[in-house]
Structure 1
């Protein structure tokens, strides 16, 4: 009986040991992100442990082993440490790589603005556990070499050491010479000038090609103050002014402009225009205009006419409809009014005639043909008198003007 008792006791011991092991919590069961592993592989029931975040993260967990399971008593999830602003560099900018915030693990890459170059050997900064590494890079302006010219050329600008964007301007000392090359250069982002330093040469001009025209007495080159003679083809005209050779080329660009006439008035007093809607006409093109009822063509008494654009860019007649009016009749036989106001078609004007003349109507009327009646005044005359038993002496007429006199004598009768 003693052997079974020993076996039973050993079994109880094994059971107790296995139950105790069932209450333990294992390190491998801790699955929180970005945490450092705990010290021991297992922990007994009731034990507590602090779970720290790995480098670059902040936060922690307090865990307790309860019957083989980990229970949280305090939870502050691990989050990336934040860095302050990495710092701006004058004349440059940076770009954030590997994230959208200034937190552990991200990098900012610096880049200089156009015309500036980085003098620092490292162009980036990374957010570490202790903050940003490296220093803020430095951007300095690009420099161009000093400029040297000969004694014929003067220049303005920073000639000793140009910086990006600086402009140097060149002029010739002599007014009879011109810059042979670029009169202005600038310092580029590469540290080189945009062009070579120019020299001076005598002022000359060459005749340019002239569309629709030809140069008269063409020369290989023209010296300063020389003029360029040219003529234009038919239906083209020269620009105003005479082209003269100067430092910057011809003072007037020698060009031939197409001759055209502009129809300025297309609605006032107009009844019809053929072609309709066209206002610009080339040389020798025509337009037909018909004026409305109370209008006629300016300077004429016509209401319809064809107008032609001449080779000099002028109309052969003025293509404008004007209101029909009547001015001072300039009739020396009219005494009053002394001055006639301009009147429109159909308007009337009272008037009187000079002594010895009488009105042919009570009022004068403005018509297309001027004032009517025409004439406005007629001379007052008397018909030759018929005097019975008398004879007019001297030359006789069919009628006599006012204040005229005649002499006559009576016949003698003999009584038988």
Structure 2
């Protein structure tokens, strides 16, 4: 009899009977969601019990979802829960600016920028968080340039009608009183960074004296009784002469012409001196020599100069004086133009005297 009872109990257990204290196993898992905290550690659930889910931070219940499920006997009822990522919606509009974003869902970032001529006030970014967009929408305020100084002997500009400050893109125009010249730009602009494009100009009384006319040249443009700032004069050289300097000069703010008037040199050329042993050109080496061009010579160590170290191209196409020669030691013709009596003139004189003393010792 006892054996029969044990067999019946085993058969009932195999058939699922006798779960009065725990009819359902753990309920199904929810992606991006979880059971209420009080059920997390429970492994079996009584028939008829209803449990609830909630979404993890950053996710919300999808439309049509049911976040509760009931144990019916040994099985859970229909499971219709779904968690979808949270949307923060629009991050807000910004006047005189724009924004770019990586999206509008949880974890996204939006970055604001202002249009040219406007400066941002506030943080440039907002993040989509559990509670929605972080922070506030920034504002874009118009940039302002500093007040312009008053200029002496002239008229300072006035702000455009209806404006109480100098803003981006506004142009300030300057002018001077009669007989004064405007030194600098006549207008400056307020740029997108709130800086003026340049310094305010000055008004100066500029008068340049009549320029010196170059010998063998003449003025061909810019005739005037009075020369003021910016006035230009143009020169030309006579036939057979070449210009040294600029052909056009301008009256500057310092009351003089810049650059100075040119000179007119004879177009007659002096032939370049032939290279000579032991003699070097230290200054004035060039391919063409004209009137007044100079050459400076020096002798090599152990040699003394006979003649002048500096020669000049004359108007007749010849160097004056003739190029010097370099001779060894006492071989120079009495050291002409090298030493003055009782007082050395330069390093070549010292070399000459040294060579003379050595010859005397020998």
Q: TM-score under structure 2 normalisation?
A: 0.47
**Which of 1 and 2 has higher RCO (CA within 8 Å, sep 6+)?**
2
More strand by share: 1
